[in-house]
Amino acid sequence: MARYRQIDMSPRLLPVDLQAQLVPGSFAHALHHLVDQLDLSAFDAYYRNDDSGAPAHAPAMLLKAVLLAYSQGMVSSRSIERACRDNVLFIALTGDAKPHFTTIADFVSRSREAIAAMFAQVLTLLDAEGLIGREMFAIDGVKLPSNASKHRSGTRAEFLAQAQKMERAATTMLERHQANDAGMAEDVLDAKATARIQRLTREAAKIRQWLAEHPDDRPGSRGKIRKSNRTDNDSAKLATDKGVIQGYCGVAVVDAKHQIIVEASAHGSGAEQELLLPVLDACADQCTATTLITADAGYHSEANLAALAEKHIDALIADNAMRQRDERFAGQDRHRTKPDPLHDKSRTPKKPRLFGRDDFIIAPDQSHAICPAGQRLYRNGKDCTIGGYAAIKFRGSPSTCQDCPLRAQCLRKPATTPSRQVAVLTRKAEATHSQRMRERIDSALGREQYSRRFATVEPVFGNLRANKRLNRFTLRGQAKVDGQWKLFALIYNIEKWANYRQAA
């Protein structure tokens, strides 16, 4: 029988060349050399130990440790501390500095402005390498939960009602407690009731203190009130395909040439329409006069398109009905809701044809119309716009339509609809910005240009969420979360730079 040497995995002391652990071509090697080339003086503003005090950990060392950890899915400051103490690669990158987890957490949470300055320096380096084409920028966002409780969200009125309810419950329990007779069993019950009364009173006091510190509700879009959150008031409730979360929307602007992130920002809002213009303003230095901006239907609104036209920004922004007009997606509905293979395959009866526009006779002066039953429909109000065309509406009298024998052939819902209405298109109305965008995006060139958006921006989020295991933000406050989102974008760009240099 063959004999083999035993593999001994017990701890031992070995001489290690730290520099040799940074293998050329690896992310750690690229990170080590790139960070040393950058101007990190923006981090110096936090320190006040020029003349006195202990020497601080170098920002370059902390930055390397954090970026390497984030690239491997380690976000917790305690896990980064353990890696800097036990992992040879982290020991080599940090020079065996062993920073404490509180130092790491404080560094990440307070360095937003310095991280943004470093992000801009990396973009300048990538631009010098020719990795930014500026032919097309694709904008999209990902909604991620944050370090906040969804159940602590509400308006100030809702919070006040919660506090009053807790106070009433505590008062009722206290009165009942005082009315009870003394006794062994009652003493045990009184101890539990006292603890609950104290808890309710304490929670109500916290809510009232929060209300005093936040005298106004958060303004939302279209004049509505956006729900506040007592854990992290900068976060928001966001609707996703997996339910409602409490978190932030991380927006990225990605260049089409090599998928470089040219702008990254986190926002406590689920309304993507209100994020388009601030994001474009933030990356205005990266755009040129010929840069095409593409975005999905979440960023589409007449106000946004009007603002883009006023600023002379070339953009392709889809609307909600774009795929319904595209013949390439004609069969998508049958794949969305496939029936049960054991369902009844008998032919369903077709619905009877309803009377259409051609079945109505319009008067020459357009003052009224005659329906198939011979009844008169009167002109209803002023001219309206339907699908970009000016139209005239005619409506029948409810009393006449109620007893009409052709009611089932005229109305889709004869049981609930009081009377029939018909519209006649007269002339094409003045094109709105949305109408012009629909015509452009439905053209052959528009479809070809917009089809590149998905392949530009979606792989970026797939990389960050799958490879970097970014599934939530761990900080609180918009400024801190924005800095953490920029760190992940920075990691992505550094990897692009490293891969490009290795291929070259």
Cβ atoms of 486 and 119 within 8 Å: the answer is yes
pLDDT in tens, 27-62: 999 999 999 999 999 998 888 888 888 889 999 999
At 298, the amino acid letter reads G
Q: Is 437 exposed, middle or buried (0-12, 13-18, 19+ CB in 10 A)?
A: buried
What integer is the mean pLDDT of 72-93? 94
What integer is the mean pLDDT of 353-372? 86
pLDDT value for 383: 66
Strand partners, 228: 154
State the DSSP code for 382. S
CA neighbor of 447 nearest in space, from 287, 318, 330: 318
Compute the Cα dihedral for 118, 122, 127, 131 and give only its sign: negative
pLDDT value for 266: 95
Strand partners, 138: 254, 294
pLDDT value for 321: 84
For the cut 70, the answer to whether the pLDDT of residue 126 exceeds it is yes
Query: Is 0.85 topped by the overall pTM?
Result: no
pLDDT value for 340: 60
For the cut 90, the answer to whether the pLDDT of residue 16 exceeds it is no
For the cut 70, the answer to whether the pLDDT of residue 474 exceeds it is yes
What integer is the mean pLDDT of 398-411? 87
For the cut 50, the answer to whether the pLDDT of residue 184 exceeds it is no
**Whole-number percent of the chain with pLDDT over 90:** 51
In a 3-state reduction of DSSP, which class is residue 148? coil
Is the model more confident about 431 or about 143? 143
Cα separations in angstroms, 323 against 240, 298, 433: 20, 14, 19
Q: Would you place residue 293 in the very low, low, confident or very high pLDDT band (cuts 50, 70, 90)? A: very high
What integer is the mean pLDDT of 193-197? 84
In a 3-state reduction of DSSP, which class is residue 180? coil
Q: Cβ of 270: how many Cβ atoms within 10 Å?
A: 23
pLDDT value for 35: 93
pLDDT in tens, 433-449: 888 899 899 999 999 99
In a 3-state reduction of DSSP, which class is residue 236? strand
pLDDT in tens, 208-219: 999 999 898 888
Cβ atoms of 248 and 481 within 8 Å: the answer is yes
For the cut 60, the answer to whether the pLDDT of residue 185 exceeds it is no
- Comparing 111-120, 224-233, 309-318, the range with the smallest average pLDDT is 224-233
DSSP H helical ranges for 95-218: 101-110, 112-128, 156-179, 184-213
What is the spatial distance between Cα 9 and Cα 85, in angstroms, rounded to a whole number?
19
pLDDT in tens, 319-350: 988 888 887 777 766 666 666 655 565 666 67
Q: Would you mind telling me the total number of residues written for the chain in this entry? A: 504
pLDDT value for 225: 84
For the cut 90, the answer to whether the pLDDT of residue 391 exceeds it is no
